[in-house]
Structure 1
Amino acid sequence: MLFSASVRAETILAIGGDEESVLELSPWLYFTQDNEGEGIDQVRRYSSSQWDRLTSNYSNRIGIAPFWVKFSVYNYEERGVDRLLSVANPHLDRIELYHLVKDKVIDKVIMGDNQPFSERPLINNHFIYPFELEPEKLHTFYLKIETEGSATLPMNLWSQEAFAKNIEATSLSHGFQLGALTAIGLFSLFIAITSRSFSYSYYSGYVLSVTLLVATLQGFAFRFLWPSLPALQQIMIPLLVPLTMLFALLFTEKVLQFKYHNVHMLRVCRFGAAYALLLTLTTPFLDYALALYIDIISVLFITVLLMGMAMIQASRGYKLAKLYSLAWSGMLVGAFITGLMYLGFIELPIKHLTPVMLGLLFEILFMAAILAIRYNDERKAKLRIKQEALVQAQRIRQTREEALLIEADSNEKLEQMVQERTLELEIALRELNEANQKLTEQATVDSLTGVKNRAAFDKRLLAEGRLSRRQQTPMAILMLDIDRFKSINDTYGHLAGDQTLRLIAQTLKENLKRPADLVSRFGGEEFAIILPNTAEEGAVLVAELIRKMVAELPISWENATIPLTISIGVSAEIINTENQPNILLEQADKALYRAKNSGRNCVMVYTPEP
């Protein structure tokens, strides 16, 4: 729909009630520079000539001045629709959102990563504003954007169903990415601790720094690690980027062994590490936009530097340098594309972070392989040196060494045999114990309903009766019977009856919250419940809750709804004699009989007959 203005036509988005829709809003966005001191009252009076279409050439930059963005939405349906407005840039400092209907402000929301995370309208890594589009009304949105970082504005209008599906997919991919990076970093850290290897230490620091940087860039760190510290959020990226460069330089020095192969490259790496450390300590105190420009340019420069040194070493025949060049090429390409996109030199139809994320994943996996190869080479070298030393020692004391080797070999084989037999015995015992536990569990569980059977109920009844007698605490028993269960079997079949029994058993288990409470199948369509340390009033409350829950169960069989109710008998008292638990059970059964005779679908408490 087009609404003409004084100078140019402004395009207004008209939508209907598509329940699974997502619309990219870039074709409908207009912007204007923010004039200091002017608020929404002045901005909404701007003529159309003062607004320009928002393009990525303007917003995909770092450190631009505050500006206003607006768009309008019209619901042409005869009913209201719920929508979610998302701004998928988690690093915008401040967003002032004004929602207008008929040129009147009906809502104002302030968001941004300089606000505590809990103050967002909807808890999400991105900025989400939920609203309802009333039928046949024009809704206009004004957003004042302030940020020192990238002002990219990927804005979308979501239905709730489409947004939920998108969240599920993106959470899976981001979780896999962060999980893989964390696993590699921690694995390398454990190897570094056990082997005391500087290579693995620096690699672990590099991967964990990258992981935290990725989590910060995607908004997960602010959401889960420091949600109440927006000031910390403002300095984490300028802090983590040079820290990552520091570990990358130290790792490169160790893995390519510049100390032994090229002293000049060793000095370059150490000067670069000192520069990265200086950036780590100073950039958090610089202007945010300036710090980002310095970090991006430094990353591009150091990436090219490391790639060049690796290729020089690879040309000289070093195997690890060849693999390093291959691994670093992914990082080089990804970092260059992302850096040029942030600096505004190129524009691609992808997110800014996508190239560097792919490059990082490629590079980290290959670096892990390089470390594994180097570790294996070092192990082989140590083994070869050890073997040469053994040969020299054998020449001097050959007879004695042979005897010692034979004895050591015999002891080792004997110890290995003992360990193998011990392990086999432990496995056999564990399997036997698991089998016994399964048999014990099967012997006490009703196979149809999954709750305890009659034998388990009788045993528990005796134990709880003794406990009530010793502690002088009340014990309650509930007897339950499905009303007109025979008619269910006759009408719908025994399979429907079995399904009904299983569903009721599951409902009983879900409504018994205490671990000591026991539900069992007493027989046929009857169930029995033991409630330790429960007086009559509490037992009646539980019984009424169960009766209502069962009456509300949506039971259907072959497209037919099965009406279902239960009758419950309740008996509760303090046990004083050995036989009293059985008497209590009989009383609950009599109360159940009274409930049946009183019209069913009710709870009856046992009272002595006149």
Structure 2
Amino acid sequence: MKNVRAILAAIIIYFIFASLSAFAIETVRIQNNKNGVPLGYQLQYLFDENKKLTLEEIRSEKYNEKWNFSNQQILSFGLNEGAVWVRVRLKNYSEKHLKEVLMMPQAGVEILDLYVIKKNNKIIVQKAGTKRPYSARPIQTRSFNTLLDFKPKESMDVYIRAETTGTLQIPLSLWDYAGFLEHEQTINFTSGLFFGAMLIMLLYNLIVYFELKEKTYLYFVIYIAALTTVQLSITNYGFQYLWYNSPWFESKSFTVVVGLLIASASQFVKGFLTTESKLKTALNLCIGLSLIYSFIALFLDFGIAFRLVIPLIFFAGLVGFWTVISIWLYGTRVSKFLVIGWSLFLSGGVLLLLSRLAILESSFLSERGLEIGAVLEILFLSLALVEKIKEADEKRDIAQRHLLNIQQQTTNQLEVRVKDRTSEIESIMKKLESANKKLTTLSAVDGLTQLNNRTYFDGTFEAQWKHALRSKSAIALLLMDIDNFKRINDEWGHLIGDECLKLIADAIKAQVVRETDTVARYGGEEFVVLLPHISIENAKIIAEKIRKNISTLAPEFEGEKLMLTISIGLAMLKPSPTETTHDLIQMADLALYKAKKEGRNRVVVADDSMRKKLEEITKI
């Protein structure tokens, strides 16, 4: 009866701990983050529909079961009324100080609160969001980035509270500081190329408009300006560099300008239609609705304005595709350029909107498609305008050639800069690769004996153990200790002791010839040999060879010969799910202890009595 009660108690305790671990915060191991590590699948999130939960409340046991595990690379919640809490645990398993950056490259989040909780329960609070001045950000970049300074073995719990009345995405990633700076430099450079190209096209078409007084160019200029402003808002560069002291303007920069973008685009396209039709009526309706929306959006909250703009965008998109198909079927060669450019931009815009609404998963095309489509669209629309005004007077031709030269010079300058920057980056990458190889070698090798070190051995042992468990094969371990090594150090000094360690290391290495075997310095005067896929007889032969080889060593120091011997404990296991690498090490250690006790300079194989003793120790 007592045994039954004990078994029931054990089962109850097991399920209690299993249920607690199911809701434990996910721990992310900090490793090589030079290229950024997405944290999406490691995140947990919790909905705060009433926007009233505090940090203390969501950390309490009451809310443990309400946390959800993420199944997305980038958490997307679509249109969201409440607040969302996100949490993750970051841990530095290394012995080094690490400087990491937590990056969230997402514009449009109105309120963003970050809490970093250290081991001593010290809480670091940082606040940002479009409803707060740009200067409130911890790192002055377009994204919400937080610098985390990890001590060796230190872990931190990160909680983020995000609240917005529009669409909500949380694309968290972790970067080391150097990789973050390089990434930001690359993004800023490519974005600079985009906005530079847009500025050039805007100035070009503005000059042409003043020269020719053609209204189509004016609508095109307004369209480029609106498109650039929308992209400044989406990428957060506008809030960083232009209206950084105006959260109000940041909340209006997207919704209001989108209406102007649709109206100017519709007016521009109308110039390519030669006859009155239902399509022109639809475009006029687009223009009217867009201008009314832009005016109303000035006085509406962002969430309401954003929800109103979604059907307007879809309606404009349908009219745009209708226009594209009509022009393609019945238009001239000039109209073909318009169709291609308009299709590219609409495709990029639709992908971005579907991603923000959490209908499509975020990807490179959804995030960058609008920029790529915009540049290509502007290019093709420019070509369409060039074709339309081919028969214009000489002034237009002169203005075109002049500004095309400016564009070419700027392009050439950008190409030269890109080439120089590429060469510089390649040179830096080669140096970093060489340095990383050296660091990898140094971190795995014992400096004195040039054998593998303890850290390398532990990692290899764990991998070989898992392989043996899967393949149901045995694995042998030789644990060796130099006999009377303390006396050698005391009588001859540590320099002689070091020379003896080198000689013995070479003697061990000479007898271990298989590529799958591992030789390492385990610590002090201890050495270890890992022998996977081997019989106990062959393992004992190798151990005896090592022992005999070392016993023949007779190094001479100051005219005297020094006799060296070693004791070896041999243990073998076929791994099972209930055993660990520690069990095999303990068995080999018991065998080594017996070899020492029986007089040293011998090999002792772990037997069943040692295994029983190990089981007794494990139970205790």
What's the counterpart of residue 41 of structure 2?
27
**1:138 to partner: Cα distance:** 2.4
Mark the CA change 1:212 to 1:20 in structure 2 (over 3 Å): closer, same or farther. same
Q: Cα deviation per residue 1:433-472 (whole Å; 9 max; x = unaligned)?
A: xxxxxxxxxxxxxxxxxxxxxxxxxxxxxxxxxxxxxxxx
**1:14 to partner: Cα distance:** 4.5
Q: Contact 1:215 / 1:221 at 8 angstroms: preserved in 2?
A: yes
Question: AA paired with 1:177?
Answer: F
Question: AA paired with 1:51?
Answer: W
SS at match of 1:124: coil
Q: Cα deviation per residue 1:372-412 (whole Å; 9 max; x = unaligned)?
A: 111114449x99xxxxxxxxxxxxxxxxxxxxxxxxxxxxx
What's the counterpart of residue 382 of structure 2?
368
Aligned with residue 104 of structure 1, among 102, 110, 121 = 121
| Inter-partner Cα distance in structure 2 for 1:152 and 1:263 | 41
**1:206 to partner: Cα distance:** 0.3
SS at match of 1:109: strand
Q: Contact 1:311 / 1:322 at 8 angstroms: preserved in 2?
A: no
Aligned with residue 79 of structure 2, among 52, 56, 62 = 62
- 1:327 matched to 2:341: yes
- 1:270 matched to 2:284: yes
Aligned with residue 218 of structure 1, among 235, 245, 255 = 235
**1:357 to partner: Cα distance:** 2.1
| Inter-partner Cα distance in structure 2 for 1:309 and 1:101 | 58
- 1:48 matched to 2:64: yes
| Inter-partner Cα distance in structure 2 for 1:132 and 1:117 | 23
Mark the CA change 1:17 to 1:359 in structure 2 (over 3 Å): closer, same or farther. closer
Question: AA paired with 2:86?
Answer: V
Q: Cα deviation per residue 1:19-49 (whole Å; 9 max; x = unaligned)?
A: 7352211122111122543311111114532
Mark the CA change 1:285 to 1:261 in structure 2 (over 3 Å): closer, same or farther. same
SS at match of 1:73: strand
- 1:116 matched to 2:167: no
Q: Contact 1:242 / 1:276 at 8 angstroms: preserved in 2?
A: yes
Q: Contact 1:85 / 1:130 at 8 angstroms: preserved in 2?
A: yes
Moved more, 76-85 or 245-254: 76-85
What's the counterpart of residue 296 of structure 1?
310
Mark the CA change 1:356 to 1:342 in structure 2 (over 3 Å): closer, same or farther. same
| Inter-partner Cα distance in structure 1 for 2:364 and 2:327 | 35
What's the counterpart of residue 163 of structure 2?
146
Q: What TM-score does the superposition give when structure 1 sets the normalisation length?
A: 0.58
Q: Contact 1:87 / 1:154 at 8 angstroms: preserved in 2?
A: yes
The aligned runs of 1:47-446 (5 Å cut-off) are 48-56=64-72, 59-102=76-119, 104-254=121-271, 256=272, 258=273, 260-350=274-364, 352-379=366-393
| Inter-partner Cα distance in structure 2 for 1:178 and 1:318 | 31
Mark the CA change 1:67 to 1:328 in structure 2 (over 3 Å): closer, same or farther. same
Q: Which runs of 5+ in 2 are unaligned?
A: 1-16, 398-620
SS at match of 2:173: strand
Q: Cα deviation per residue 1:510-534 (whole Å; 9 max; x = unaligned)?
A: xxxxxxxxxxxxxxxxxxxxxxxxx
**1:111 to partner: Cα distance:** 1.1
| Inter-partner Cα distance in structure 2 for 1:17 and 1:107 | 23
Moved more, 283-292 or 148-157: 283-292
What's the counterpart of residue 22 of structure 2?
8
Q: Contact 2:135 / 2:244 at 8 angstroms: preserved in 1?
A: yes
Question: AA paired with 2:105?
Answer: A
| Inter-partner Cα distance in structure 2 for 1:59 and 1:312 | 36
| Inter-partner Cα distance in structure 2 for 1:213 and 1:225 | 13
| Inter-partner Cα distance in structure 2 for 1:205 and 1:189 | 9
What's the counterpart of residue 52 of structure 2?
37
Moved more, 165-174 or 260-269: 260-269
What's the counterpart of residue 580 of structure 2?
none
**1:158 to partner: Cα distance:** 1.1
Q: Contact 1:96 / 1:143 at 8 angstroms: preserved in 2?
A: yes
Q: Contact 2:327 / 2:339 at 8 angstroms: preserved in 1?
A: no
SS at match of 1:324: helix
| Inter-partner Cα distance in structure 1 for 2:392 and 2:349 | 32
| Inter-partner Cα distance in structure 2 for 1:19 and 1:240 | 38
Question: AA paired with 2:371?
Answer: M
| Inter-partner Cα distance in structure 1 for 2:193 and 2:252 | 26
| Inter-partner Cα distance in structure 2 for 1:331 and 1:351 | 12
| Inter-partner Cα distance in structure 2 for 1:265 and 1:207 | 23
Q: Cα deviation per residue 1:549-594 (whole Å; 9 max; x = unaligned)?
A: xxxxxxxxxxxxxxxxxxxxxxxxxxxxxxxxxxxxxxxxxxxxxx
**1:58 to partner: Cα distance:** 6.2
SS at match of 2:178: helix
**1:102 to partner: Cα distance:** 2.4
SS at match of 1:226: coil
SS at match of 1:90: coil
| Inter-partner Cα distance in structure 2 for 1:170 and 1:128 | 14
| Inter-partner Cα distance in structure 2 for 1:223 and 1:348 | 24
The aligned runs of 1:489-568 (5 Å cut-off) are none
Q: Contact 2:128 / 2:136 at 8 angstroms: preserved in 1?
A: yes
Question: AA paired with 2:102?
Answer: L
| Inter-partner Cα distance in structure 2 for 1:351 and 1:48 | 36
Mark the CA change 1:176 to 1:249 in structure 2 (over 3 Å): closer, same or farther. same
Question: AA paired with 1:133?
Answer: F
What's the counterpart of residue 582 of structure 1?
none
**1:215 to partner: Cα distance:** 1.1
What's the counterpart of residue 447 of structure 2?
none
**1:83 to partner: Cα distance:** 1.0
Mark the CA change 1:136 to 1:313 in structure 2 (over 3 Å): closer, same or farther. closer
Moved more, 176-185 or 299-308: 299-308
Mark the CA change 1:336 to 1:276 in structure 2 (over 3 Å): closer, same or farther. same
Q: Contact 1:19 / 1:161 at 8 angstroms: preserved in 2?
A: no
| Inter-partner Cα distance in structure 2 for 1:89 and 1:202 | 31
| Inter-partner Cα distance in structure 1 for 2:151 and 2:287 | 58
| Inter-partner Cα distance in structure 1 for 2:148 and 2:296 | 43
**1:364 to partner: Cα distance:** 1.2
SS at match of 1:162: helix
Mark the CA change 1:116 to 1:36 in structure 2 (over 3 Å): closer, same or farther. closer
Mark the CA change 1:363 to 1:38 in structure 2 (over 3 Å): closer, same or farther. same
Mark the CA change 1:17 to 1:8 in structure 2 (over 3 Å): closer, same or farther. closer
| Inter-partner Cα distance in structure 2 for 1:48 and 1:103 | 21
The aligned runs of 1:437-516 (5 Å cut-off) are none
**1:351 to partner: Cα distance:** 6.4
Q: Contact 2:27 / 2:89 at 8 angstroms: preserved in 1?
A: yes
Q: How many matched pairs?
A: 377
**1:317 to partner: Cα distance:** 4.6
